Structure 1
Amino acid sequence: MTFSLVARCAETGMFGLAISSSSPAVAARCSFARAGVGAVASQNVTDPSLGPLTLDLMGQGKSAGEAIEAIKAQAKFIEYRQVLAVDTNGLSAIHSGPNSLGIWTQAQAENVASGGNLLDNDEVPQAIVDGFLSSTGHIGDRLIAAMRAGLTAGGEAGPVHSAGMKIVDKVSWPVADLRCDWTEDCPIETIATAWDVYKPQLDAYIQRAFDPRGAPSYGVPGDE
């Protein structure tokens, strides 16, 4: 009941992930990324521990494919899981267990991987990959474009209610971590709206962390 992508920007080295589901708060359980290491989605009857574990393995020098193979060898109930990963070299890898729900499939290319379950049709992940590869600009813009492409291609079999987008770049925390945990409207468009607001302020939030003395004003009432 989820579709997602993990991606790397070849120009900046940023990693990002976007995800949507009919379930509530999907991004809280399924999205993982670490600057200088990679991005991972752990979904379908989710085991959230697989996200950090896959990132740890890639942080130790394993490629995305090697990390996924290690996960398959040691994780419990791996036949129920979908795990997607992309690494610092832009290599991507996917495990989709045979007990993935409904119509499930996957697609991947250099710097991007997409997978889903309980999909409307088996072309959705490829549409997401194509949407990412054909888009330009900031990785956040490309993640949104890819998810919109997946939704246009059919998305999940039923309506989606939650979504999230996470981006990491050089620092130890996500430089963007936007979530819509539940809505009766389109959660992907909710995230897109939040990104439009957040993107112009992203660098200022990083600057405030390192040296608030030289950071832009907060732009709120009472700020002088």
Structure 2
Amino acid sequence: MTFSLLGHCSRTGQFGAACTTSSIGIGARVPFLAARLGGVLTQHRTDPRLGPRGVELLRSGCTAQETIDALVASTPDHGWRQLAAIDGAGRTAHFHGARMKPAHAEAHGQGCVAIGNIMASERVPQAMVDAFLASPDAPLAERLLLALQAGEDAGGEGRPLVSAALLVVAGESFPFVDLRADRDPAPIAALRGMWADYAPLAEEYVARAVRPNQARGG
């Protein structure tokens, strides 16, 4: 009952993830990213421990596929898990556990991967990838939001969504964007509204952290 996408912007070097579900708190449980390394999605009877573990595997030099293989090998409950990864070179990989409920599917594109489970249609991940790739010059956060909306338009989960999250990492150890909508009747629209407010300030917030003498704000 979750659909998500990991993406990389070759122009800026940013990595990002967007995800949504009919359960609360998706932003704390599903997407895990690190600047310059890539990231991991962990969902379907989600085990959030696999996210940080996956990031550390990427940090050790593992490719996306090697990261997924190691995560699967490390957990005896992998039959319940759905995973995806993207590495620093933009390579992607995924895993569907044998005990996952339908409909579930995945789609890969240049620098992106989408996965979903308990969806209304297996077309959802491909619709997300298509939308992500359709606007290569847009900011990564915008492309991720377009992908999320495309997934919903393609059928989504088939029941009301409750939470959505947008996470982007750039050159620093902290996220460039980390926005979450919870217990909202239209979480994707709420997330888009938050991004519209945040986008003009994103670079300023980075400056306040790393170049405070040059920052404009208080």
Match of 2:184 in 1: 183
Q: What is the 5 A alignment of 1:139-150?
A: 139-150=140-151
Cα distance in structure 1, aligned partners of 2:208 and 2:10? 27
Identity %: 37
> Which letter does structure 2 place at the counterpart of 1:157?
G
Cα distance in structure 1, aligned partners of 2:132 and 2:98? 26
Shift of 1:108: 0.9
Match of 1:98 in 2: 98
Q: How many residues align?
A: 217
Match of 2:156 in 1: 155
Cα distance in structure 2, aligned partners of 1:76 and 1:167? 31
Give the secondary structure class of the aligned counterpart of 1:214: coil
Shift of 1:213: 2.5
Shift of 1:208: 0.4
Match of 1:74 in 2: 74
1:26 and 2:26 correspond: yes
Q: Mark the runs of 5 or more structure 1 residues left unpaired by the alignment.
A: 219-224
Match of 1:114 in 2: 114
Contact kept, 8 Å, 1:18 with 1:147, in 2: the verdict is yes
Q: What is the 5 A alignment of 1:1-224?
A: 1-136=1-136, 137-184=138-185, 186-218=186-218
Contact kept, 8 Å, 1:7 with 1:39, in 2: the verdict is no
Shift of 1:101: 2.2
Give the secondary structure class of the aligned counterpart of 2:72: helix
Cα distance in structure 1, aligned partners of 2:56 and 2:209? 25
Cα distance in structure 2, aligned partners of 1:213 and 1:177? 24
Cα distance in structure 1, aligned partners of 2:68 and 2:62? 9
Deviations along 1:44-75, whole A, 9 cap, x unmatched?
00000111111111111110001101111111
Cα distance in structure 1, aligned partners of 2:158 and 2:3? 11
Cα distance in structure 1, aligned partners of 2:168 and 2:193? 16
Shift of 1:100: 1.5
Higher-Rg structure is 1
Shift of 1:96: 1.1
Give the secondary structure class of the aligned counterpart of 2:161: coil
Deviations along 1:78-122, whole A, 9 cap, x unmatched?
010011111111100001112112311111122100011110111
> Which letter does structure 2 place at the counterpart of 1:42?
T
Cα distance in structure 2, aligned partners of 1:107 and 1:194? 27
Contact kept, 8 Å, 1:106 with 1:114, in 2: the verdict is yes
Contact kept, 8 Å, 1:119 with 1:154, in 2: the verdict is yes
Match of 1:221 in 2: none
Cα distance in structure 2, aligned partners of 1:211 and 1:110? 34
> Which letter does structure 1 place at the counterpart of 2:176?
V
> Which letter does structure 1 place at the counterpart of 2:181?
C
> Which letter does structure 2 place at the counterpart of 1:30?
V
Q: CA RMSD in A?
A: 1.0
